[in-house]
Amino acid sequence: MKVYFRTIKDLPVDEYFGPGQLTCAGCGPSIAIRWILKAAGSDVIIVNATGCIEVTSTSYPYTAWSVPYLHVAFENAAAAASGAESALKVLRRKGMLDAKAKVIAIAGDGGTYDIGLQALSGMLERGHGVLYVLYDNEAYMNTGIQRSGGTPHFAWTTTSPVGSKLKGKVQRKKDIMSIVIGHHIPYAATANLAYPIDLANKVKTALDYLDEGPAFIHVLAPCPPGWRYPEEMTVEIARLATETGYFPLYEWDHGMIRFNPPSNTHFDKSKRKPITEYLKRQGRFAHLTEENIKEIEKEIDEYWDYLSKLVKTFG
């Protein structure tokens, strides 16, 4: 990652994701999108999948976007972005357009892990120069908290309820980064809205690589009503996700894996905060037993094992 911004004061003052939105108080995704657009600047075209951000930011006759914006449907942000990118390329070539605009696709976890995975895979395989941003709030929050492939193990949602037989989501969270990296694209990174400078630098880095092919950024974006915590806690919860090792910050850059602070020290488990610090603040995990927490901890350790093997191979 090239460092474009060192402190928050380096970020542009311009706002491209402005007022006029209907997000919930403390909305993680809207915080993330605001940082992303600040970093990206005005010469972009946004293609947004159906989801929280789309329904809250484009309520006709208002719009929160002061950059060109297209929404088509839930599962096809990557396909529509492929078309927009191809159009820019050919129109420039034919001398019908002089803009240097770059295309950014934005989708939630539902539109990425689940219904949109096919279109995403197609776009990555074909090598379109599009930055795909996944804002992960770990459930279908737009339709009222239903589980997705990105929902963590044991988390309560309305379609993975806590009952007498089943306690929250039965399956583990899908490893979307591994799926994306499997397409051998130039750049993929995880980011967290609690680390805006890291996020902004990753956005700039990704945009700089688009001439070579696609880039992907997986942003953790907590959701107060869906995760069941007080709305003023969004940034704190997000930071805990990384500090406890639940959501590590790293990047895949041309076949190399690099861990970013503070996750770069987290291969040593003693440097991570206990996972309970993260879990106990969220109502969606309120039902967890000691045994459940142990299992989550085991899964996180396994994941770090896997990551350390990746670092050994690709570091």
Partner 1 sequence: MAVAKALSTREEVVKERVGLTSNYAAAYAVKTVDVDVIAAYPITPQTTIIEKLAEFVANGEIDAEYIPVESEHSALSAVVGAAATGARVFTATSAQGLEFMHEVLYIASGLRLPIVMAAPGRALSAPISIHGDYQDIMSARDSGWVIMIASSAQEVYDSIIMAYRIAEDNRVLLPVMVSYDGFLMSHTTEPVELYHEEYVRKFTPRNLNRPRLDPRKPMTIGVIASPDWYYEIKYQAINALKESKNVIKETHNEFNKAFGTNYDIVEKYMLDDADYVLITYGGASSGNAKEAARRARERGLRAGVLRLRLFRPFPTDEVVSAIKYSKVVAVVDRALSPGNTYEGPVFNDVVSALYNKGINKPVISVVHGISQRTMLSDDFYNLYKKLDEYAKTGEYPRKTIFIGLRGGEA
- Chain residues that interact with partner 1, rule: CB under 8 A: 42-45, 47-48, 54-55, 58-61, 63, 65-73, 75-76, 78-91, 93-94, 96-97, 99, 101, 118-119, 121-122, 125-126
- Nearer Cβ to partner 1 (73/233): 73
Q: Which residues pair with 191 in a beta bridge?
A: 219
The nearer residue to partner 1, 65 or 229, going by C-beta atoms, is 65
Enclosing H/E stretch for 305: helix 290-314
Q: What letter would DSSP give residue 27?
A: -
Smallest gap from Cβ 48 to partner 1, in A, equals: 8
Closest separation in Å from C-beta 200 to partner 1:
19
- How are beta strands 187-192 and 44-48 bridged, if at all? unpaired
Nearer to partner 1, 88 or 237 (CB): 88
Nearer of residues 92 and 228 to partner 1, judged by Cβ: 92
Rounded to the nearest whole angstrom, what is the least distance from the CB of residue 98 to partner 1 in the complex?
Answer: 9
Element (H, E) at 253: strand 250-253
Report the nearest approach of partner 1 to the CB of residue 222 (Å).
Answer: 23
Asked whether 249 and 261 are in contact (CB, 8 A), the reply is yes
One-letter amino acid at 205 equals: T
Q: DSSP readout, 216-229? A: EEEEE---HHHHTS
Upstream peptide bond of 61 is cis (omega within 30 degrees of 0): yes
Length of the chain in terms of residues written: 315
Distance in Å, CB of 177 to partner 1, minimum? 21
The answer to whether the CB of 32 falls within 8 A of the CB of 199 is yes
Q: Which is nearer to partner 1, 115 or 249 (CB)?
A: 115
